């Protein structure tokens, strides 16, 4: 199974909000989420940080992408 945290870029269900169209804002929000702490504390280290929308267990991704 898997879980994820995502950003609702259309909170009203209709339009993108101006602040979500700015890549710098989205990146800043993403950096605010303590992913490593969530993995350590909430799931007790039993998770793999995912940096793409494809499972990091797929062999095709392993040589191309590396987690920070």
Cβ(17)–Cβ(11) below 8 Å: yes
Confidence at residue 62, expressed as pLDDT on a 0 to 100 scale: 59
Token pair of 28 as six digits = 């800043």
What are the pLDDT digits (tens) for 6-65? 777 777 778 777 777 788 988 898 889 898 999 999 999 998 888 777 777 777 665 555
CA–CA distance, 46 with 41 (Å, rounded to integer): 10
Cβ(5)–Cβ(33) below 8 Å: yes
- More confident of the two residues 47 and 68: 47
Token pair of 25 as six digits = 């804002």
Residue 20's CB is within 10 A of a number of other CB atoms, namely 16
């Amino acid at each position: 199974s898997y879980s994820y945290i995502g950003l609702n870029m259309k909170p009203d269900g209709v339009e993108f909000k101006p602040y979500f169209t700015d890549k710098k804002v989205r990146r800043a929000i993403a950096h605010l989420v303590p992913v490593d702490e969530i993995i350590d504390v909430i799931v007790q280290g039993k998770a793999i940080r995912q940096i793409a929308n494809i499972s990091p267990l797929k062999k095709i991704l392993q040589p191309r992408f590396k987690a920070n």
